Amino acid sequence: MRPEDVLVLPFVFALGAILGSFANVCIHRLPKGESVVSPRSRCPGCREPIAAWDNIPVLSWILLRGRCRSCRTPISSRYPLVEAIVGTLFVSAAVLHGFGPVALSGAILATAAVILAATDLDARVLPDEVTLGVLGLGLLLALWRDVAAVRVHGPAALASHVVPALAGAAFGAMLVWGVGAAYRLVRGAEGMGMGDVKMIAMIGAFVGPGGVLLTLFGASLAGTVIAGLPALLRNLSWRAAFGRARSSPEKARDEARRGGLFVDPDGRIVESGPRWREIPGAPSRGETLSPAGPVARPVAAFARLALRRAASGRTSSFGRLAVEDETGEFFRVLAARGEGVAGGLLVLLSRVDVPFGVFLAAASVVVWQWGGLALDLLSGGLPFPGRELLP
């Protein structure tokens, strides 16, 4: 990168942050089957449309101190975090690879990885609009690189990128589908869903067949090695949340809105967050825990037990609460912790069933950046299918 190109980097970050703002819309709406185009962004609390000056990536959240201007409902820190991450990914791609189709390929793949990791964590959904849409973008970017290569190297370079991209998409899809089919045949249960098949096809269009193998290996390794990291982060986050909640009932309600349930000493729900409200049959605010439906009953039973224990100053924890409906369409494994706080009991809930798509997303970004070096080392310098796609 030339020294004068540094002046452009703030604009690259701004472009990435704007795309990160759109990524937030995708994360919030696509799992619900909603349009990402309309209606305009609204506050989830008061439903007021968000003004343009309150929708500036990262900056608006800071100026508003993380709250809606109209109703002061807390705005999740996930929004500026995603915007900042995507902006940083765009800058990193430009610094490492200049301005062109190579850097754009890496930035687009990384942005898709952020969206898919978030939707898979939140709703166990890998939206087709992202996987198939970015798959198409990957093939178009490979074609763009072919056009540039032909101008430099002549007709011999024709299809030098688009063919490996097609091969990577096809190889990845067939490999993961085959593994899932074999698991289903042997175990009689779902192994890999079609969302994973489409996601690895999307990744293959950017990293080629060799990169697909590295991505699957890296995702499997990451799932094994860092399985304990979310538990550590969750415990640190919960410790801070309970510390804030002990200061006043208002703080306890704020923490419940973010990720749990706040009940008064009589077991009546004062406030709740999305993790509780998404459970079918979960009682609403103002109701007691007793009428919980069969799906919500395990969490409600934990909350009632925690309420009794909190009366004697004890805390309650459970590492894996399985919550599932009869159809299997709704499935969560939740960690729960309940403590007595100002005004009642606060129960914090967190998902602990980290899906494979999260690890695929992380591994794909690492492989795109460093997979070429890894393939060179593994192959001893011999040609490897799809090496042309990687920096």
Q: Over 90: is that where the pLDDT of 387 sits?
A: no
Q: pLDDT averaged over the chain?
A: 89
Q: What angle do CA 258, 262, 266 make, to 5 degrees?
A: 170
Q: Over 90: is that where the pLDDT of 153 sits?
A: no
Q: Over 70: is that where the pLDDT of 270 sits?
A: yes
Specify the domain boundaries for CATH 3.30.450.20 within the chain: 228-351
The better pLDDT of the pair 11, 153 is held by 11
Q: Over 90: is that where the pLDDT of 310 sits?
A: yes
Q: Over 60: is that where the pLDDT of 371 sits?
A: yes
Which CATH number, 3.30.450.20, 1.10.287.130, 1.20.1050.90, 3.40.50.720, labels domain 228-351?
A: 3.30.450.20
pLDDT band for position 339 (cuts 50, 70, 90) = very high
Average pLDDT over residues 270-276: 93
Percentage above 90 pLDDT, the chain = 58
pLDDT band for position 188 (cuts 50, 70, 90) = low
Q: Over 80: is that where the pLDDT of 7 sits?
A: yes
pLDDT of amino acid 378: 86
pLDDT of amino acid 227: 62
Tokens of 81: 């975090």
Q: Over 80: is that where the pLDDT of 96 sits?
A: yes
Sort 86 into a burial class: Cβ within 10 Å, 0-12 / 13-18 / 19+.
buried
Summarize pLDDT for 217-246 with one digit per residue, the tens: 999 888 776 666 777 888 899 999 999 999
Average pLDDT over residues 48-56: 84
pLDDT of amino acid 14: 95
Summarize pLDDT for 192-204 with one digit per residue, the tens: 678 999 999 999 9
- Report the 3 state secondary structure along the chain: CCHHHHHHHHHHHHHHHHHHHHHHHHHHHHHHCCCCCCCCCECCCCCCECCHHHCCCCHHHHHCCCECCCCCCECCCHHHHHHHHHHHHHHHHHHHHCCCHHHHHHHHHHHHHHHHHHHHHHHCCCCHHHHHHHHHHHHHHHHHHHHHHHHHHCHHHCCCCHHHHHHHHHHHHHHHHHHHHHHHHHHCCCCCCHHHHHHHHHHHHHHHHHHHHHHHHHHHHHHHHCCCHHHHHHHHHHHHHHHHHCCCHHHHHHHHHHHEEEECCCCEEEEECHHHHCCCCCCCCCCECCCCCCCCHHHHHHHHHHHHHHCCCCCEEEEEEEEECCCCCCEEEEEEEEEEECCEEEEEEEECCCCHHHHHHHHHHHHHHHHHHHHHHHHCCCCCCCHHHCC
pLDDT band for position 124 (cuts 50, 70, 90) = confident
Q: What is the largest CA-CA distance in the chain?
A: 80
pLDDT of amino acid 184: 74
Q: Name which of 210, 179, 208 is nearest 196 in CA terms.
A: 179
